[in-house]
Structure 1
């Protein structure tokens, strides 16, 4: 058994302005994610942004997918160039990796797993919105793929604060490490 410490990546998921607009008081979450990014870069931890993106006309969105069909109605009111833009307060640096996904999980419709495997990354630190969306789906899929998992609880957010705490406290805490931004950056 190897005694080497795991190679780690910080995932910054769905931190796009069009998604953050649905989150109340998202400024605190953005601030915490920015602190995590600073710490990751100082410690030479690979930063990977995961964003949701579609082709013109949204051919990836099936009418059978209720949540994405409703989201598509909102997206069609926007300039297509805005949709996958990461919030300007936490833009990627040149050495960061940006992955575009087509569904809720960071793995679904993206090349994330190929990147993680090629870089021998086996520990994922999760941040993003929404806790009950991309964070939950990515956590469960990564757990099933045998990744070590850490969730920075206050660098994640959900529209429903009660649901956020339930997912963090009841589901994630039994299957991974939960830590606050201040504890992680200390």
Structure 2
């Protein structure tokens, strides 16, 4: 039996303002991964990006931050920062709020993972070239065992997604489809 109590499925940036840019069928792999994690006692942790009213966390030298400050709508209470209904958390599943691209930046994710004694992260999210890439790099530097569910990562640029999941991510993580991951859970 795999040691699922040491693993966590990270559902990153599947919040209304980001997930709504994609078709509902694009979110099916995330839904399947969440269902499989719950059935196999793998912790599901949600990560979103959101800021306080007035954006005191955003430095105008940061181009992403400058755009958010200019256009607004990413406060912690805003509809755009709430987890998308299609992947709604169950009670007890943490929602981590981050302040930059990586799931670790400005969040309490590391404390939660350490408290739960998690050593393996299964990464999913939007965008492959944003939160998934940044979190993968930081998690690897923190010595987590990593898996990436390639079809549960979305990016506005399909070529960038392909290069990352085929050439970059395999250097630091096991990259597999959601179905292959689900099958591996039952194979042990």
| TM > 0.5 | yes
**Shift, 1:98, TM fit:** 0.9
**Partner Cα distance (1:118, 1:77) in 2:** 29
Residue 39 of structure 1 corresponds to 36
> Which of 83, 87, 91 is the aligned partner of 1:86?
83
Say whether 1:157 aligns with 2:137: no
Gaps of 5+ in 2: 184-188
Say whether 1:73 aligns with 2:47: no
Q: Give the alignment's TM-score, normalised by structure 1.
A: 0.91
Q: CA 1:41–1:76 in structure 2 vs 1: closer, same or farther (change >3 Å)? A: closer
User: What secondary structure does 2:78 align onto?
Assistant: helix
Residue 147 of structure 1 corresponds to 144
Residue 16 of structure 1 corresponds to 15
> Which of 128, 131, 153 is the aligned partner of 2:128?
131
Are the equivalent residues in 2 in contact too, given 1:9–1:45 (CA < 8 A)? yes
Are the equivalent residues in 1 in contact too, given 2:51–2:99 (CA < 8 A)? yes
Are the equivalent residues in 1 in contact too, given 2:11–2:44 (CA < 8 A)? yes
**Shift, 1:86, TM fit:** 0.6
Gaps of 5+ in 1: none
What's the C-alpha RMSD, in Å, of the aligned pairs?
Answer: 1.9
Q: Give the alignment's TM-score, normalised by structure 2.
A: 0.90
Aligned residues: 181
**Partner Cα distance (1:40, 1:147) in 2:** 18
**Partner Cα distance (2:165, 2:75) in 1:** 32
Which range is displaced more, 101-110 or 166-175?
Answer: 166-175
**Shift, 1:78, TM fit:** 8.8
**Shift, 1:71, TM fit:** 3.2
